[in-house]
Structure formats: C-alpha cells, structure tokens
Amino acid sequence: MKYKISSSSFIAASDTFEKLPSANGPEVCVLGRSNVGKSSLINKLLSRRDLARVGKTPGSTKLICMYEVLFSENRSNAKKMKRGVLSDLPGFGYAKTSNVNRISWSKLLTSYLQERESLKLVILLVDVRRDLGKEEKEIIEVGKEGGLAIAITKADKVTKNELTKRKQYFQKETGLPDEAIFVTSSESATYKAGMESLRDLICSFFLPE
C-alpha cells in the first residue's frame, strides 16, 4: 500500500447532472448494479464506517454523492499529499423500481460518464457470482474511452478455485489487463490487498497538494 487515507468529507449530492457542483479537481467514480456493495466498498476504501450510506434495500442510492478525499504517502515522515473527489453513483438494474426512476437514473449516469470533464477513472463494481449484464457492458464500452477498472466484490462468497475462474471470466469479457481488475471484499480481511491496490490506483489520478 503506497498511500493511506488522511481525511474524507461529503461535498454534495444531486439527482440531476445539471445541479452537480463545479469540478474541484480530478474525480473518480464508483458504480455498479444495485446491491453490488458500492457504499460498503467506499466506506472500506476511505476507512470510514458510515460516510457512504449502506441501504438495506437495493436501489436506495438515488443520487450522485460526492466526497472530497485527501491521501498521504504511507510513511511516517512523508508530507506528500494528494487530493481528489470520489463519486458514488446510483445503482442500476433494480427490477422493483419504477420505469420513471429507471429512466431518470440512466440519464443521470450517462450524462455524468460522458460529459463530466473532470472524471478521470470509472470503477465498475461486479458481484463475483453474477455474469455481466447489458448495463455493465455498455458502461465498459464507455469507460474504455478513458480510465476503467473493475472491482470484483463479495469475493468471500465463493471458493478460491471459483474466484479464479470468475476473474478469468471478467478479464475475457472486458478485455482489461490483470492490473485493472481488483478482487475485493468489504467483509473479509483475506482480500485486503485488493482493496489497498484499488486505493492506490484511485490516488494515482489525484493531484498533489
């Protein structure tokens, strides 16, 4: 782990692209299917217990929530700091939501991914037990135009042999190199290295203080 979290704070939330605050440095976004574990992963990445709301009901995140993050080098005598914004995007694919909500969320996601000039990296979360759907494949195509990484969530829910097969599946389907695919779990310390590597990747897109 090259960097450690120094501080993180909520900036803003919006249900429309037009109402998002002006960019204040580079942004990295986290998105994925409803109930894939976005908020849990963000809290883990930022070493916070409840910065991002973890809903009991899939589809509970209906806004783009933005957090300012400050990292420092993982050395006691280091003074080098890096700052940027991490955005939590609404989950997609929740079957029980209304068509109106589904269309609204889709428009919000598309606008942010295609028009937000400060967006430098898209992290798509995928449940280790689930194949890629239409929505994920569309995001992958858009994300490949810029920075794209895949975070496999809930790795503790399958055996190690199955995990190896699932990672190979995601690599084949996305065409991404091994270093752009991270194996994570918000529940098990076994996959701490994947979370730390993902944190370092995020920090690499942020700017020095």
Residue 127: which residues within 8 A CB-CB, separation 6 or more? 33, 35, 36, 37, 153, 154
Which pLDDT tens digit goes with each residue over 151-185?
A: 999 999 999 999 999 999 999 999 999 999 999 99
Q: Compute the residue count for the chain.
A: 209
Q: Domain containing 56 — which CATH number?
A: 3.40.50.300
Domain that residue 140 falls in: 3-208
What's the confidence (pLDDT) of residue 57? Answer: 42
What's the confidence (pLDDT) of residue 109? Answer: 85
Count: domains in the chain:
1
Beta bridge partners of 124: 31, 150
Residue 118: which residues within 8 A CB-CB, separation 6 or more? 23, 25, 26, 27, 85
What's the confidence (pLDDT) of residue 56? Answer: 43
Residue 192: which residues within 8 A CB-CB, separation 6 or more? none
What's the confidence (pLDDT) of residue 50? Answer: 65
The number of CA neighbours under 13 Å toward the Cβ of 43 is 15
**Ranges of the chain whose pLDDT falls below 70:** 1, 49-61, 76-79, 94-103
* β pairing state of 64-73 and 27-32: unpaired
Q: For residues 32 and 88, what is the distance between their CA atoms, to the nearest angstrom?
A: 10
